[in-house]
Amino acid sequence: GAGDDQADTGTKNITREHELALAGNAREMLEQTERALERLDAGTYGICENCGKPIGKARMQAFPRAMLCVECKQRQERR
């Protein structure tokens, strides 16, 4: 950054923050996928980790890494 003006420095900072956010999202998605595979092996795939009820087929098709049923996910998001 030697010789960069403030706009260049700001742009680099924003780019770096964006790349870190993307890496964090990819890491989270990988962890969710690994947990889904573990649940598949354990025979608990498609079962809500909170209430123990089956996660709906439509939710599992839309979001195969889902760990919570719709109701429990909504409750979690309200907190």
Contact by Cβ (8 Å): 50, 72: yes
Total-model pTM: 0.71
Q: Which domains does the chain have, with CATH numbers?
A: 6-78 (1.20.120.910)
How much is the pLDDT for 36? 94
Q: Is there a contact between 76 and 70 (Cβ–Cβ < 8 Å)?
A: no
Bridge partners (DSSP) of residue 47 are: 54
Which pLDDT belongs to residue 7?
72
As a whole number, mean pLDDT of residues 52-66 equals 96
* C-alpha to C-alpha distances, 1 to 18, 19, 20, nearest whole angstrom: 18, 18, 19
End-to-end CA distance of the chain: 42
pLDDT of residue 3: 63
Arithmetic mean of pLDDT over the chain: 92
